[in-house]
Amino acid sequence: MVIIRLIEALRARPRLLRSLCFGLLGAFALWDALVLDKSHAHTAFEKLPGWWSLFGVAACAAIIVFAKWLGHRGVSQGEDYYE
């Protein structure tokens, strides 16, 4: 399976994976700044270059932090819960 080998190769090289992710984020922000039409923006934030890319990263990070908090706070139980 090609996808499994790709995932294993990326897991073995976390710096490369981080660089690829930041490069992709930068490409999306650049595309947003140079290509997209901002004349129909509803708010001032939408006119900022790369706003939706940065908003997506921040929202994803917030969802991850909330899910971890929820998992540690309410869902997971101690090892001796059933004893």
- The continuous run of DSSP H or E covering 55 comes out as helix 51-70
Is residue 83 pLDDT above 70, yes or no?
no
Terminal Cα distance for the chain, rounded: 43
Is residue 62 pLDDT above 70, yes or no?
yes
Q: Tens of pLDDT along 18-27? A: 999 999 988 9
Is residue 17 pLDDT above 70, yes or no?
yes
Paired tokens of 79: 């090892």
Give me the residue spans of the domains in the chain: 2-75
- Report which of residues 80 and 68 the model is more confident about: 68
Is residue 28 pLDDT above 90, yes or no?
no
Give me the percent of the chain exceeding a pLDDT of 90. Answer: 39
C-beta of residue 32 within 8 angstroms of C-beta of residue 52: yes
- For residue 30, the model assigns a pLDDT of 86
- For residue 26, the model assigns a pLDDT of 87
Tell whether pTM > 0.75. Answer: no
How many of the other CB atoms lie within 10 Å of CB of 29? 18
